Amino acid sequence: MPKIIAMAGKGGTGKTTLSALITKYLISRGKTPILAVDADANANLNELLDMEIGTTVGQIRKEMKGDIPDNMTRDQYMEMKIHQSLLEAKGFDLLVMGQPDGTGCYCAANQYLAMVMEHLSENYKYILVDNEAGMEHLSRLNLKTIDHLLVISDPSARGIMTAGRVSEITDALGLEVRNKHMIVNRVPEPAPEALIAKINETCEATGLPLGGIFPSSDELIEQELSGGSYLDLDEEIPYIKTAFATFDKILQ
Q: Which stretch binds Mg ion (CB under 5 A): 12-20, 65-73, 79-87, 134-142?
A: 12-20
- Interface residues with ligand ADP (CB under 6 A)? 9, 11-17, 185-186, 214, 216-217, 220-221, 224
Q: How far is the CB of 11 from Mg ion (least distance, A)?
A: 7
Pick between residue 17 and residue 229 the one whose CB is nearest to ligand ADP: 17
Q: How far is the CB of 122 from Mg ion (least distance, A)?
A: 27
From ligand ADP, Mg ion, none, interface partner of 197 (C-beta below 5 to 8 A by class): none
For 198, how many CA atoms within 13 A lie in the half-sphere containing its CB? 18
Q: Annotate 145-159 with b (16+ C-beta within 10 A) or e (fewer).
A: ebbbbbbbbbbeeeb
Residue 25: which H helix or E strand, with range?
Answer: helix 15-28
Q: What is the CA radius of gyration of the chain?
A: 18
Residues with Cβ within 8 Å of 115's Cβ and at least 6 positions away in sequence, in order, are 75, 78, 79
- Could you say which of 13, 16, 131, 185 contacts Mg ion (CB under 5 A)? 16
Q: How far is the CB of 238 from ligand ADP (least distance, A)?
A: 11
Give SS3 for 198: helix
The rounded distance, in Å, linking the Cα atoms of 130 and 100 is: 15
Q: How far is the CB of 45 from Mg ion (least distance, A)?
A: 7
Binding residues for Mg ion, per CB under 5 A? 15-16, 40
